[in-house]
Structure 1
Amino acid sequence: MTEPDDAVPLRRRTAHALDLMAFSLADVRDGLGPFLSIYLLVTHHWDQASIGFVMALGGIAGVIVQTPVGALVDKTTAKRALVIAGAVGVAVAALAMPLLPGFYTIAFLQAVTGIAGSIFSPALAAITLGIVGPRLFSRRVGRNESFRHAGTAWAAVVAGGLAYYFGPVVVFWLLAVMAALSVVATLRVPGDAIDDDVARGMDKATSGQHRGPSGFGVLLHNRRLMIFAVVVFAFHLANAAMLPLVGQKLALHNKEVGTALMSACIVAAQVVMVPVAYLVGAKTDSWGRKPIFLVGFAVLTVRAFLYPLSDNSYWLVGVQLLDGVGAGIFGALFPLVVQDVTHGTGRFNVSLGAITSAWGVGASLSNFVAGGIVVAAGYSVAFMSLGAIAALGFALYLIAMPETATGTDSGPGVFALPHRRQVQRDAVVGGELVEDLDGKV
């Protein structure tokens, strides 16, 4: 079949737009995170329990809407519009926080950020799957995650440098800028490049025939998905509070450069995450999901027990490098495991939303529980408690979760050119044309 002359440039342009989306949505999806923790601690002198509460509130708000958002992503053909709406919501909340720094306004704006941020993971995953199809999804997700971590590292470097001169308030402005960039990137993805049936996890052969459960019914009818939800909950219950706690320790000992040191922690981890995510995306189909995921849990456990050994800034930043391994593995495998266990159901995004809800509950409780432990027993006990949770998660995954990689040969999704003309068996993975689906580029 002869391709249109503009086919390859269009695919490359779409691939680069996905790269830019992943890069710019990194900070927009996660919100202010530990930077907000430092800002409230150093600038407004909040205690750790209050900080933990508002940090948890944003996560809880996101959890409440996450599964309905996933269902909406499954059903709608306006996936790009959803991303843009979420980015605008995050930008408005970020700009309002330093102007309205009261407890209730910060809590409300954190909830807005959590709700808006719930859109990005399922929407980006759906757009990616709808463009490249299931056969190339692993490689493209690995690339997405690499660009996401690069975006987080870049934003952290810029935030740290600007905060040194202008104070911690600069992170709010930077988040708004990244949100605007994500809008530009989203608009560069051609709407007709997305196959909406493939984007929701449907087999082309069964499209229009399958009727599956929706919402949390997906979890109740899929044992592997339910186990994975518990595993994800445990991972983030252990992981989410670690970086904010490290940031607080650094800020308490180095108040004038607390934000810059937090940036160093983030950059240290993200620099490691970029190659880890890319490697996982390239090798997970041959190595399997389970052994790689177990490595992520093991590294998370070790990291938690290393933090209490010293308060030295260089030690804390050095230990944070291990976050790059654990989080890099998780980020690359998370959507792949969900796609594995929901393939052909047409419920990929609602399932992704449900599992992301488990992620959000774990992360929210992590900040809340860890903040309370710090107030009652100190930072060292908090870190070791989080490490014990990570060890339990490792054991659960080892014993209860089967390998999900199947090596399915169901074929790629259609990279739809204008008027949905199907071209040769190819899809966008990077900036290149993939013609051999067995891995040759």
Structure 2
Amino acid sequence: VVTVSQLATALAGAGIGPLMAAITLGIVRQKGFNIQIGRNQAWNHAGNMAGAGLSGWLGWQFGLSAIFFLEVAFGLFAISAVLLIPEKSIDHKAARGLDDKPADDEGTAEGLRSFLRHKPLLILASCLCFFHLGNAAMLPLYGMAVVSAGKGNPAMFTAMTVMVAQAVMIIVSLLAIRFVRDRGYWIVLLISFAALPLRGLIAGSFIQHWGVWPVQILDGIGAGLQSVAVPGLVARLLNGTGRINIGQGVVMTAQGIGASLSPALGGWLAEDLGYPVAFYTLGCFAIVSLGLWIGSASTLRSADQVSA
């Protein structure tokens, strides 16, 4: 049952990101994409925060089984929300990234091999893979570290770690809209990558109940900026190719590879070398992202300007 549920969750999670980006692009097009994706992410993080709070309270009051019924209810609400979107409000050509074509031209998507030649996209995917290799295990490991030290209630502390990060992400997602407009994608993602090494340093140095605040605030900054900048940059880079949705999927696959390996790596480090070493090591993976991102600054910035 656990295996099947995790498989279903993974399949749904893999599809939701590109699909939501495509629907958004089809409704508001390139011109309004950054603003709308920022609003989408703010609501997304608000829902995550509410879900974490309710899960913590229900788990504390009624046991862990109550959390699963809550997730079923949220799933039904999400389906209802999608059904309320008028199908005719979505321009399917624009959703693919072809809305710069003439009105009577359906457009032709570029071949899939074009991704292998798209250096900026490959750099972005590589940076995100290394970032999530270090980032994904940080939250659960920090919760385990604090709880195992007897400094927090399992259900309530875990909920608190999520709520702090998601609250910050709401604010950061909205601020990222203006930041991207004024400073561009490159600097926004640079800041998001830089947050993880500092987060790992603090997590490894202070395994305390109060540590959730600086550790998860930094998580909220990094993830909040990426939730807006990554889909926006992919849509910008691949505008006119007709392959924006696949591009979103390619980037999310790279993120998923890093995120899927992170718990195994983090768990092994924590078990054999202790939690502090695990946090320091996980934080170092973002240094690889930083080096690659800074080293490719000219390529990425020129591609962003050309695509604009």
TM norm structure 2: 0.93
- For this pair of structures, how many residues does the alignment match? 303
Within 5 Å, give how 1:256-335 maps onto structure 2. 257-335=153-231
Q: Percent identity?
A: 32
CA contact (8 A) 1:142 1:282 kept: no
Match of 1:340 in 2: 236
Q: In the aligned structure 2, how far is the partner of 1:144 from the partner of 1:138?
A: 10
387, 397, 411: which is aligned to 2:293? 397
Any idea what SS the aligned residue of 2:242 has?
coil
CA contact (8 A) 1:285 1:407 kept: no
Q: In the aligned structure 2, how far is the partner of 1:188 from the partner of 1:172?
A: 25
Q: In the aligned structure 2, how far is the partner of 1:204 from the partner of 1:175?
A: 40
Kindly state the Cα deviation for residue 326 of structure 1 after the two structures are TM-superposed: 0.7
Within 5 Å, give how 1:30-41 maps onto structure 2. none
Pair 1:177 & 2:76 matched: no
CA contact (8 A) 2:179 2:188 kept: no
Q: In the aligned structure 1, how far is the partner of 2:292 from the partner of 2:148?
A: 36
Q: In the aligned structure 1, how far is the partner of 2:138 from the partner of 2:144?
A: 10
Pair 1:219 & 2:115 matched: yes
CA contact (8 A) 1:163 1:259 kept: yes
Alpha-carbon displacement from aligned partner over 1:273-306 (angstroms, at most 9, x marks no partner)? 1111111123312211111111111111100111
Which runs of no fewer than 5 residues in structure 2 stay unpaired? none
Q: In the aligned structure 2, how far is the partner of 1:205 from the partner of 1:371?
A: 50
Match of 1:210 in 2: 108
Match of 2:88 in 1: 192
Q: In the aligned structure 1, how far is the partner of 2:65 from the partner of 2:148?
A: 18
224, 248, 261: which is aligned to 1:352? 248
Which of the two has greater helix per residue?
Answer: 2
TM norm structure 1: 0.66
Match of 1:39 in 2: none
Give the letter aligned to residue 298 of structure 1.
A
CA contact (8 A) 2:25 2:95 kept: yes
Q: In the aligned structure 2, how far is the partner of 1:221 from the partner of 1:210?
A: 18
Kindly state the Cα deviation for residue 248 of structure 1 after the two structures are TM-superposed: 1.3
Backbone CA RMSD of aligned residues = 1.8
Q: In the aligned structure 1, how far is the partner of 2:219 from the partner of 2:202?
A: 12
368, 375, 385: which is aligned to 2:271? 375
Kindly state the Cα deviation for residue 209 of structure 1 after the two structures are TM-superposed: 3.6
Q: In the aligned structure 1, how far is the partner of 2:307 from the partner of 2:54?
A: 42
Pair 1:140 & 2:36 matched: yes
Q: In the aligned structure 2, how far is the partner of 1:167 from the partner of 1:173?
A: 11
Give the letter aligned to residue 27 of structure 2.
I
CA contact (8 A) 2:127 2:288 kept: no
Which runs of no fewer than 5 residues in structure 1 stay unpaired? 1-104, 410-441
Give the letter aligned to residue 213 of structure 1.
G
Any idea what SS the aligned residue of 2:97 has?
coil
Match of 1:406 in 2: 305
Give the letter aligned to residue 305 of structure 2.
T
Q: In the aligned structure 2, how far is the partner of 1:256 from the partner of 1:268?
A: 15
Q: Which is greater in Rg?
A: 1
Give the letter aligned to residue 406 of structure 1.
Q
Kindly state the Cα deviation for residue 259 of structure 1 after the two structures are TM-superposed: 1.3
